[in-house]
Each structure stands twice: as structure tokens, then as C-alpha cells.
Amino acid sequence: MSRLSLTLVVTLGVAVAGCDRSAPVEVQESGASAMATSEIDRTYAGELMPLLNVSDPAGRELNLGAKQGTPVLLNLWATWCAPCKKEMPLLDDLAAGYGDRLQVITVSQDMGGAEKVAAYFAENNFEYLEPWIDPQAELGSFYDNTPLPTTILYDSMGQEVWRVRGDYDWSSAEAREAIGEAVGE
């Protein structure tokens, strides 16, 4: 197989699957611009939010299972994942638009520690997102090592409504309509 063919196969694979945790960083970056928008998947509708703790760079903990009462949009991402980084400003805008009617929780799957995540948040000045971290990748295991980014919408009872694996346009009318299912719009 020629080098060009191999590069095209790898790029296409990343574009279809999102960021793969086991792939090298250079592969992650190369597929970003070719990434197609993913679709909403309702296969796991009704499943409960995991009772797992995540932490922030200051060591504060958040139990995801205790977030019932308000719908939650849970996003798994990493600083090395180009499609993830593309989504972060859109998720920050989404959080701003819904205010206290929707909790947007972004949880980094970076293994490198809090420093990378804190630096990324400081560099990007997100106003509504907090730098939650899952350094042991417990969420990744819970979601069967799904590709990054993966975003799951939970209703106010903590039950999954739908999920999206891969890059998604969170500013689209389709996204707002789908989120409306959980926030009552």
C-alpha cells in the first residue's frame, strides 16, 4: 500500500469514527477538517447517568449521578482531539443560551492531568463551561470506550435521551430542537 493510500485510509477512518483514544495525536489532528457531522443516536434512551465522580483542577469533586433535577448535556472530550476542541466554543455558547434550564458538563478524558485542561480553559476563556476531568477514564469505560467527542443528553430524572458520537454542530436548529425534548421546549 502506498504512503498516500495509507494516509487517505487513516484520515477517512478518523473522519468516520471521531477521535480514537488509542490513535496517535498526529492522526487525530489530520482528520479534523474532514470530520462529518454525526447524528443523534437514541439506542441507549432510558439508561441512567453514571454514578461517577469527576474533579476540577482545584480538586473539587462532582458526582454526576447527583445532577438530577435539571437536564444535563454531558460531553466527553480531550485536549488532543481536534473535533473536540472545535465543539468547545459551541458548547459554551449553548450553555449560555440555556442558562439554568440545562447543565452543560464537559469532562476531559486527558490522561496528562489537570494542567493541560486548566491551560486549555485559561487560553480559551470559556464563560459557562467548567474544566471537569476524568483522569482514570472511568466515563470512557462506562460508555464502552466510545470515540471522542461523545455527548449524551440526560433528562431531569437522569435518564439518557440520546447521544452523539463525533463532531456535531451545537449551534444548529436540529441541536436546539433535540435538546428541547429534555428542557421542555
What domains sit in the chain, N to C, each tagged with a CATH number? 37-183 (3.40.30.10)
What is the model's pLDDT at position 135?
80
CB 147, CB 165: distance < 8 Å: yes
Return the pLDDT at 41.
95
Out of 6-10, 141-145, 151-155, which region has the weakest mean confidence (pLDDT)? 6-10
Mean pLDDT, rounded, for 96-105? 96
The whole-number pLDDT of residue 30 equals 34
* Closest to 106 measured CA to CA, from 144, 83, 134, 125: 134
More confident residue, 21 or 86: 86
Please, which residues have CB within 8 angstroms of residue 111's CB and are 6 or more apart in sequence?
135, 137
- Other CB atoms within 10 A of residue 76 CB: 28
Q: Cα separation of 14 and 28, whole Å?
A: 7
String of DSSP letters for 86-119: HHHHHHHHHHHHHGGGSEEEEEE--SS-HHHHHH
**How does the average pLDDT of the chain come out, rounded?**
83
- For residue 175, is pLDDT > 70? yes
Question: Among 144, 141, 162, 142, which Cα is nearest to 42's?
Answer: 162
From CA 101, how far away is CA 114, in angstroms rounded?
28
**Which of 7-16, 45-54, 105-114 is the most confident on average?**
45-54
Contact 114, 133 (CB under 8 A): yes
The pLDDT value recorded for residue 133 is 96
Q: Reduce the DSSP state of residue 81 to 3 states and report it.
A: coil
Residues 6+ apart with CB under 8 A from 7: 30
Range with top average pLDDT, 10-19, 20-29, 128-137:
128-137
